[in-house]
Structure 1
Amino acid sequence: MRKLLLTLLVLIIVGCGVFLSLPTLIDRHMNSVAAPAPYPASAPAEQLHQTLFVADLHDDALLWQRNLLEHHDYGHSDLPRLLDGHVGLQVFSTVTKTPRGLNYESNAATTDNITLLVMAQRWPRATWNSLLERALYQGQKLQEAADGSQGRLQLIRTRSDLAAFISTWQKDPQHVAALLATEGLHPLQGKLENVDRLYDAGFRITGLTHFFDNEVGGSAHGLKKGGLTPFGHKVIARLEQKGMLIDLAHASKPLIDDVLKIAKRPLLVSHTGVAGTCPGTRNLSDAHLQAIAATGGLIGIGYWEAAVCETSTAAIVRAIRYTADTVGVEHVALGSDFNGTVHTPFDTTGLAQITEGLQGAGFSQADIALVMGGNVQRLLLASLPQ
Structure 2
Amino acid sequence: MKKFILFLVILFVVYLIGINTVPQYIEAERNPVKAAGPYQISPEAQAIYARLDFISDLHCDALLWGRNLNKRGNQGHVDFPRMREANVALEMFTIVSKSPAGQNMQSNSEDAFDNITPLTIAKGESPWNWFSLINRTLSQSEALKNFVENEGEKAIFVRSKADLEKLIEARKTDKEVIGAMLGIEGGHALEGMPENLDKVYAAGVRMVGPTHFFDNEFGGSAHGQSGEGLTDFGKKMIARMNELGIFIDLAHASPAIVEDILRLSSKPVIVSHTGVRAVLDSQRNLSDEQIQKIAAKGGIIGIAFFDMAVGTPELPNIIASIKHVRDLVGVEFVALGSDYDGSVAVPFDITGLPLIVEGLLNAGFTEEEIKAVMGENVKRFLLENLN
Q: Same fold (TM over 0.5)?
A: yes
| Number of the residue aligned with 2:144 | 142
| Number of the residue aligned with 1:261 | 263
Count of residues in Structure 1 that have an aligned counterpart in Structure 2: 385
User: Partners in 1 of 2:363 and 2:223 — Cα distance?
Assistant: 33
Conserved in 2, the CA contact under 8 Å of 1:34 and 1:311? no
User: Partners in 1 of 2:18 and 2:161 — Cα distance?
Assistant: 45
Amino acid at match of 1:59: C
TM-score (norm 1): 0.96
1:69 and 2:70 are equivalent in the alignment: yes
Amino acid at match of 1:40: Q
Conserved in 2, the CA contact under 8 Å of 1:76 and 1:348? yes
| Number of the residue aligned with 2:97 | 96
By how many angstroms is 1:47 displaced? 1.4
By how many angstroms is 1:150 displaced? 2.3
> 1:272 is matched with which residue: 271, 274, 277?
274
| Number of the residue aligned with 1:112 | 114
| Number of the residue aligned with 2:24 | 24
By how many angstroms is 1:129 displaced? 1.6
1:5 and 1:155, CA in 2 relative to 1: closer, same or farther beyond 3 A?
closer
Within 5 A, what are the aligned runs for 1:1-386? 13-14=13-14, 17-18=17-18, 21-52=21-52, 53-110=54-111, 111-385=113-387
Q: Secondary structure at the match of 2:175?
A: coil
User: Partners in 1 of 2:162 and 2:37 — Cα distance?
Assistant: 36
TM-score (norm 2): 0.96
1:45 and 1:126, CA in 2 relative to 1: closer, same or farther beyond 3 A?
same
Q: Deviations along 1:222-263, whole A, 9 cap, x unmatched? A: 111210001111000000011111000000111101111111
By how many angstroms is 1:151 displaced? 2.0
RMSD of Structure 2 on Structure 1 (CA): 1.9
Amino acid at match of 1:260: L
1:30 and 1:247, CA in 2 relative to 1: closer, same or farther beyond 3 A?
same
Paired-residue identity, %: 44
1:131 and 1:10, CA in 2 relative to 1: closer, same or farther beyond 3 A?
closer
Q: Secondary structure at the match of 2:58?
A: strand
User: Partners in 1 of 2:309 and 2:179 — Cα distance?
Assistant: 26
328-337 vs 106-115, which deviates more?
106-115
By how many angstroms is 1:5 displaced? 10
User: Partners in 2 of 1:140 and 1:10 — Cα distance?
Assistant: 31
Unaligned ranges ≥5, structure 2: none
Amino acid at match of 2:61: D
1:311 and 1:151, CA in 2 relative to 1: closer, same or farther beyond 3 A?
farther
Amino acid at match of 1:114: I
90-99 vs 150-159, which deviates more?
150-159
User: Partners in 2 of 1:354 and 1:51 — Cα distance?
Assistant: 14
User: Partners in 2 of 1:92 and 1:305 — Cα distance?
Assistant: 21
Conserved in 2, the CA contact under 8 Å of 1:304 and 1:311? no
Q: Secondary structure at the match of 2:214?
A: coil
Q: Deviations along 1:323-343, whole A, 9 cap, x unmatched? A: 111111000000000000111
